[in-house]
Amino acid sequence: MTRFVHLAGATSYREVHALQAELLDQRIRNVIPDTVLLLEHAPVFTVGRTRGAMANVLDPGEAEVVEVERGGDVTWHGPGQLVAYPIVDLRNRREDLHLHMHSLEEAVIRLLADLGVPSGRDDRNTGVWIEGHKVCSIGIACRRWVTWHGLALNVDPDPSWFQRINPCGFDSAIMTRLADHLDPCPSVGSLVQPLADHLADCLDIPRAPVGSTLA
């Protein structure tokens, strides 16, 4: 039975990162089932493993900058952005990280299609794109074929945050939001269960109602 858990409010990145690490260890030991966290973060810039990524942090201001294990460059997380962290065991099932990332993209593409917003992939870059602009960033890590980190869908965040970095190594103008393509724009909260359902289908894990606790 998969667990989908919505962490309400503007969550601390470091606290959720520690929670992911704990869940990752438990999933590796097969103590817990596949678990997907869905949330919004308090403003934070995260820097992945790409060489030279820290140079793309231009003016973080009051927001913390955190170096993390995921692949990719620098990105921003914060209010108005729906983040999903699937802690999913790929062992003896589909040990293919490219397929896993493709599946994360597909879940978002299907979600946006439900909303009447066409989107797709870029053959050269990860993520989900609308008319040449990036609406969803994806970066993962994997340990013993159990995944963590995940995706960040820009619903209606303040776009000025992206001007403080070169997001994913690009000029900030590359970024877009669902709010730029849909009026009225749905709330982040209203997209939690639909995204969970699409993630279940695309990751080939059972659907389940999104809960509010890990119990």
Helix (H/G/I), strand (E/B), else coil: 57: strand
Q: How many domains does the chain have?
A: 1
Cα–Cα distance for residue pair 172/178, rounded to 1 Å? 16
Cα–Cα distance for residue pair 17/149, rounded to 1 Å? 8
Give domain status of residue 15, yes or no. yes
The two structure tokens encoding residue 118: 């066409």
The two structure tokens encoding residue 139: 């970066």
Q: What is the pLDDT of residues 79-130, one digit of tens each?
A: 999 999 999 999 987 889 999 999 999 999 999 999 999 999 999 999 999 9
DSSP string, 78-140: -TTEEEEEEE-B-TTT---HHHHHHHHHHHHHHHHHHTT---EEETTEEEEEETTEEEEEEEE
Q: Which range marks the domain in which residue 154 is found?
A: 3-206
Cα–Cα distance for residue pair 181/145, rounded to 1 Å? 36
The two structure tokens encoding residue 61: 């201001």
**pLDDT(215) > 80:** no
Q: What is the pTM of this model?
A: 0.97
Which of the 8 DSSP states describes residue 157?
Answer: -
Look up residue 94 and give its amino acid.
Answer: R
The rounded mean pLDDT for the chain is 96
Give domain status of residue 169, yes or no. yes
Q: What is the pLDDT of residues 131-178, one digit of tens each?
A: 999 999 999 999 999 999 999 999 999 999 999 999 989 999 999 999
Between 51 and 153, the more confident residue is 153
The two structure tokens encoding residue 131: 């008319």
DSSP string, 88-105: -B-TTT---HHHHHHHHH
Give domain status of residue 211, yes or no. no
Cα–Cα distance for residue pair 23/66, rounded to 1 Å? 20
Cα–Cα distance for residue pair 112/195, rounded to 1 Å? 9
Give the per-residue pLDDT at 107: 98
> Catalytic site residues?
168
* CATH code where residue 121 lies: 3.30.930.10
Cα–Cα distance for residue pair 42/78, rounded to 1 Å? 5
